[in-house]
Structure 1
């Protein structure tokens, strides 16, 4: 079920980005042009959004979709995925533990669908910390 949840999460993010790209006639990720072409806080097509740093928190029907973007790669922490599950009427009934979610995400790393997000310092050296953050490296897996 985590695969289905993650697939829906990615689909929502890409659909939301497409709405913004179409409205503002841009062909780059909205995180890249949010400061220039539109307010960082707003709404579009029933989705309230707030761009922050390298990411965005979007809310539709009280369901929270929080994520980060690096170039065109979706990145998320386990906390951000937990927020989606916690606020989604269908997913919250599953009562998944943090450990179960972490295990399922690790299985997707083993399938080369996700990868760890390694944080780097200013000088380009890795801090060596993972913080249960992930990078989506194979979106086609969810199609």
Structure 2
């Protein structure tokens, strides 16, 4: 089921980005041009969004999609996925534990579909997230 959840997650993100690219006639990642062509906080087609740093939080029908972009790759934390599950009417009924989600994501790492995301260390301190971070490397696995 985590694969289905990730498929919905990635499909939503790419569809949302396509709306912004189309509206603003750009062919690059919206995180790259949000400061130039539109406000970082707004709405499009019923999706409320807020671009922050290298990422975005988008909300549609009370479902929260939070993610980061590295060049054109989707990156996310376990918390991001947990927020989607927590706010999605269908997925919240699954009552997944953090440990189960982590295990399922690890299985996708073993398949080569996801990778761990490593942050650079500056002055001995790690910057990034508290939770494990993942990078989608085989997006075609999720997009049908």
Q: TM-score normalized by structure 1?
A: 0.94
2:115 match: secondary structure:
strand
Matches within 5 A, 1:59-74: 59-74=59-74
Matched, 1:13 2:13: yes
The offset of 1:121, in angstroms, is 3.1
The runs of 5 or more residues in structure 1 that have no matched partner are none
1:66 match: secondary structure:
strand
Which aligned segments of 4 or more residues in structure 1 are displaced greater than 2 angstroms? Answer: 125-131
Alignment match, 1:23: 23
Q: TM-score normalized by structure 2?
A: 0.94
Q: How many residues align?
A: 142
1:82 match: secondary structure:
helix
Deviates further, 128-137 or 55-64:
128-137
The offset of 1:69, in angstroms, is 0.1
Distance of 1:128 and 1:52 partners within structure 2: 16
1:119 match: secondary structure:
coil
